[in-house]
Amino acid sequence: MRIIYLTAWLIAQMICATLANAFEIEEQKLYKSPTGTGNLHIISTADISSFEPILLAFQEENPNIDIDYVVASSAQTMAAIHDERAPFDLVISSAMDLQTKLANDGFAQTYVSSATDSLPSWAKWRNQVFAFTQEPAVLVVSEHAFRDLSIPNTREELIELLRDNPQEFWGRVGTYDVRTSGFGYMLATQNSRNTDSFWRLTEVMGRLKTRLYCCSGEMIDDVASGRLAMAYNVLGSYAEKRLQTMDGVKIVPMQDFVSLMLRTSIITTNAKNASAAKRMVDFLSMMETRPELSAASGLPAVQRLETTAAKGLRPIRLGPGLLVFLDRLKRETFIRNWQNSIVQNNP
Amino acid sequence: MTLRFVSGSMRGRLVIQLALIAALLSLVLFLVVRTVAERAAADTQDNILLASATSISDALYTERGAVRLELPYSALSMLGSISEDRVFYRVAVGGETLTGYDDLPLPVSNDANQFDTYRYKGETVRAVALKRNFSTGNHSRDVTIVVAQTRLGLAAISSRITNTAMAIGVIFFLLATGLSLWAAQSALAPLTRMAGAVTRRGPSDLRPVVGKTPAELAPLVEALNSFILRLKASLNRSEDFIAEAAHRVRTPLATVRTQAEVVHRSLNQSQNKTALREMIRAIDESSRSAGQLLDHAMVNFRTDQFETAQLDLVELVKETTDRLSPTAGLKDIGINVAHDIPEFPFSGDAILLQNALRNILDNAIKYSPADSIITVNMTSDPEYQIAVIDQGRGFQGGDAQSYLNRFSRGENVDDVVGSGLGLTIVQEVAVAHFGRVEIQNNQTGSGACVSFILPRG
Ligand SMILES: Nc1ncnc2c1ncn2[C@@H]1O[C@H](COP(=O)(O)OP(=O)(O)OP(=O)(O)O)[C@@H](O)[C@H]1O
Ligand SMILES: [Mg+2]
């Protein structure tokens, strides 16, 4: 028997009037609880469809907490918290760099509990930024396009493959447009830091009139439809979720290294309902113990015991290093270089 | 037992003083360790800040006449590698922010490298400011690089250091206090030893204190010895005085007694005769007392100058009984001597021993009825025991041991003349020879049994 009586309203943009919303929101949903005493205001970059199972499970454990879940892009999330000090209790974002900047600039509360203590050291920073998912950046290929070709396993092989088969891949390679996607920018900068082949790869992809995307979803759709032969640096968690309903698409984790993006949460310093936010942080930190939530949401939980190094998994390191690529000049230079490499034939 | 004159303890004072010194030294040690270690930790942070700022300054370049920067990844990540502190930076060209945090303060002075500590964004930060002169084509520009970091990691290190330093201090203190306890104990050991030696002495042992004493105690020992000497002299003087007095009283008393006897015999009236008898008895008592006092003084004197010689107790007993047999004969009392081994070799003062035996036998004769037997039973195992057993009235009432006190006489004396010093003399002689006296009544039949017990060998 369900103990929790859940009432959920999909609330349209009008409710947003309650929040001073100079920032743009994409979706919003209020999860009312029967005995609700306090509203937990969450701003998140994860869309409602993927995050809902987690919110419902949380509310089942904490029936007296109403959840107001607002979805916004990472840049808008940053604007909401950093510039507008919007009254959110919890910020959930895949933009590790922006989350780090929020903590570094004093927008995050310190919180320590047995749940956060059990997180591996790479999965938290200052006890203010707490990771709860680890999502690999992968190569997604169309099996059809690789009928006669062997699938590359390292970035060097990928470069070679693209160089040797320009006619096969002309216009059929996709990747993030780092100018518009914060997540794409973060992945690209981390790649540039991790390997020398990054710029050569960008150069080669530029010569092949690579298509640029804002989001993982569209890239995967285009691979599935055959418009793309491959998409580079796709968020593996999305890919995996989509592939459950798609044939002919394959996920290839690179063997030289796989960047692990960490989805993190922070409790804001001006949180009105910090206790509920802390409950949520604890709940998210322990997501590993509830594999059904990862399955339902498609968000792989932080693995405590997994030896990340052995599998070539490289969690992007939380900390001030992430602030480097947020530097105005650094960003300008990086984007100019990237543009010069990839948009050479893509005016 | 608390002694009224005790005020404070030398050892206590010594221990407290040493402990205070140890505490002071521990505190100094704690402060020194902490200061040095914290200085080192702070220097480490300063060095990393400087390295970060330097790497930023190395990444400056000019492009079309403008200063540009490509912030090196390591510049900030190196700061994140030692602690999870917040990091702030600012690069300013001629006072105008090129990149970084606009509100991070720029240094006022013009020194090359400046470290500073101030509050920024609600937290204390440590900052380094680097000034570089940069030439962009034809004119040069002042570039200031500021890198700041909060001190969370430093605070953690500092609290760890404080704990360690505290532990070191406490351990040092405990060790030093333990050692000072031991030192005080061993420094005062000679004093305890001396006190023990003096305490263990017998009541009449007035020999000077000899044996090795540390220089610091020499004056005390000297003073003690000279005091003992004076005490002894004064005791001797009073004993001499008693002996002299007794002697002076005895001689005229003898004359008075003789005269009284003469008068007694010449008197016819029984009333006067009785009165004179009383008088003669009183004279006897006085003269007995004087004699015993004299003996007592003699015994005291000899026990002081204790001189021993080898002798046979059996022979000594026989001599004494022989000497007393006339007195015994007056009351038709027979004295039997029995001994389990032929000889009782013993080293002691013959005169003292004889005196003691004479007093015991004298009592036995005095307090026995006429026509009775006194047995002197000598046994040698495990100690020499000379038991004098009579058939008289025995001890009556009270604590028999109290008869050993001076001038204490029993209720059973009737008209027997005596002073109450006899058994006191016996006791003193026994103690001088490391022996003792046991007084009891016969288990079988009536009579007293006085045992004179001496150690064997
Ligand atoms: N053999 C004995 N039988 C009974 N009583 C005794 C005997 N010897 C000692 N006493 C008791 O012990 C008391 C103390 O004896 P102690 O020899 O000291 O004194 P004294 O005999 O009375 O006097 P003196 O000094 O003349 O010997 C005596 O007064 C007597 O009461
Ligand atoms: Mg007597």
Asked if B80 and A321 come within 8 Å (Cβ–Cβ), the reply is: yes
Q: What pLDDT does residue B316 have?
A: 94
Q: What pLDDT does residue B423 have?
A: 93
Ligand nearest to the CA of B407: 1
Q: What is the CATH number of the domain that holds A107?
A: 3.40.190.10
The predicted model gives B200-219 an average pLDDT of: 80
| Cβ proximity of A322 and A185 under 8 Å | no
Q: Considering only residues B405 and A37, tell me which one the structure prediction assigns the higher pLDDT.
A: B405
Q: What is the CATH number of domain B308-457?
A: 3.30.565.10
The predicted model gives B58-63 an average pLDDT of: 89
A63 and A125 co-located in one domain: yes
* pLDDT 10s digits, B390-423: 999 888 876 778 888 888 888 888 888 899 999 9
The one-character DSSP state at A128 is T
Q: Does any domain span residue A321?
A: no
Q: Considering only residues A346 and B22, tell me which one the structure prediction assigns the higher pLDDT.
A: B22
A229 and A144 co-located in one domain: yes
- The angle at the Cα of B340, spanning B334 to B343, to the nearest 5 degrees, equals 95
Q: Is the pLDDT of residue A18 over 80?
A: no
A87 and A114 co-located in one domain: yes
Asked if A329 and B69 come within 8 Å (Cβ–Cβ), the reply is: yes
A125 and A203 co-located in one domain: no
* pLDDT 10s digits, A85-102: 999 999 999 999 999 999
Domain locations in chain B as residue ranges: 13-159, 201-305, 308-457
**CA separation for the pair B297, A31 (Å, rounded):** 117
Q: Does any domain span residue A314?
A: no
C-alpha count within 13 angstroms, C-beta hemisphere, residue A173: 26
Q: Is the pLDDT of residue B354 over 90?
A: yes
- A86-90, B59-63, B107-111: range with lowest mean pLDDT: B107-111
* pLDDT 10s digits, A172-226: 999 999 998 888 999 999 999 888 889 999 999 999 999 999 888 889 889 988 8
CB-based contacts of A6: which residues, under 8 Å, 6+ apart? Answer: A31, A32, A33, A34, A56, A59
In which band, very low, low, confident or very high, does the pLDDT at A110 lie, cut at 50, 70 and 90? very high
CA distance B122 to chain A (A): 8
Q: Is the pLDDT of residue A4 over 90?
A: no
| Cβ proximity of A281 and A271 under 8 Å | no
A141 and A124 co-located in one domain: no
**Residue A251 lies in domain:** 135-259+326-343
Tell me if B392 CB under 6 Å of ligand 1. Answer: yes
**CA separation for the pair B220, B209 (Å, rounded):** 11
CA distance B22 to chain A (A): 41
Asked if B76 and A320 come within 8 Å (Cβ–Cβ), the reply is: yes
- Best of B70, B85, B88, B120 to mutate (most A CBs within 10 Å, chain A): B70
Q: Is B442 exposed, middle or buried (0-12, 13-18, 19+ CB in 10 A)?
A: middle
Q: How many domains does chain A have?
A: 2
A239 and A293 co-located in one domain: no
- A4-8, A210-214, B147-151: range with lowest mean pLDDT: A4-8
Q: What pLDDT does residue B361 have?
A: 94
Tell me if B364 CB under 6 Å of ligand 1. Answer: yes
Q: Does any domain span residue A239?
A: yes
Chain B positions with Cβ closer than 8 Å to A: 68-73, 75-77, 79-81, 84, 86-88, 98-100, 121-123, 152
* pLDDT 10s digits, B302-347: 887 778 889 999 999 999 999 999 999 999 999 999 999 999 999 9
Residue with the two structure tokens 């990839």: A342
Tell me if B447 CB under 6 Å of ligand 1. Answer: no
Q: Is the pLDDT of residue A20 over 60?
A: no
Q: Is the pLDDT of residue A310 over 70?
A: no
Q: What pLDDT does residue A307 have?
A: 61
- A279-288, A296-305, B385-394: range with lowest mean pLDDT: A296-305
Closest partner residue to B99 (CB to CB) among A103, A105, A327 is A327
Q: What pLDDT does residue A29 have?
A: 93
In which band, very low, low, confident or very high, does the pLDDT at A161 lie, cut at 50, 70 and 90? very high
In which band, very low, low, confident or very high, does the pLDDT at A13 lie, cut at 50, 70 and 90? very low
Q: What pLDDT does residue B204 have?
A: 67
The predicted model gives A116-136 an average pLDDT of: 93
A21 and A42 co-located in one domain: yes
**Sign of the alpha-carbon torsion through B14, B20, B23, B27:** negative
Q: Which amino acid is at B1?
A: M
| Cβ proximity of B388 and B376 under 8 Å | yes
Q: Considering only residues B136 and A104, tell me which one the structure prediction assigns the higher pLDDT.
A: A104
DSSP lists the bridge partners of residue B376 as B337, B388
Q: Does any domain span residue A317?
A: no
Q: Is the pLDDT of residue A306 over 70?
A: no
A33 and A108 co-located in one domain: yes
Residue with the two structure tokens 């692990």: A260
What is the number of the ligand 1 atom nearest to the C-alpha of B425? 18
A197 and A122 co-located in one domain: no
Q: Considering only residues B63 and A283, tell me which one the structure prediction assigns the higher pLDDT.
A: A283
Q: Considering only residues B211 and A134, tell me which one the structure prediction assigns the higher pLDDT.
A: A134
Q: Is the pLDDT of residue A268 over 90?
A: yes
Residue A153 DSSP SS3: coil
- First vs last Cα of chain A: how many Å apart? 60
Q: Does any domain span residue A319?
A: no
Q: Is the pLDDT of residue A8 over 60?
A: no
Q: Does any domain span residue A122?
A: yes
Asked if A329 and B70 come within 8 Å (Cβ–Cβ), the reply is: yes
- A139-148, A281-290, A306-315, B225-234: range with lowest mean pLDDT: A306-315
Q: What pLDDT does residue A10 have?
A: 36
Q: What pLDDT does residue B12 have?
A: 82
Please give the mean pLDDT across all residues of chain B: 88
CA distance A173 to chain B (A): 29
Q: What pLDDT does residue B236 have?
A: 83
Question: What residues of chain B lie within 8 A of the CB of A321, using their CB?
Answer: 73, 76-77, 80
The predicted model gives B205-233 an average pLDDT of: 86
Residue A178 DSSP SS3: coil
Determine what percent of chain B is predicted with pLDDT higher than 70. 98
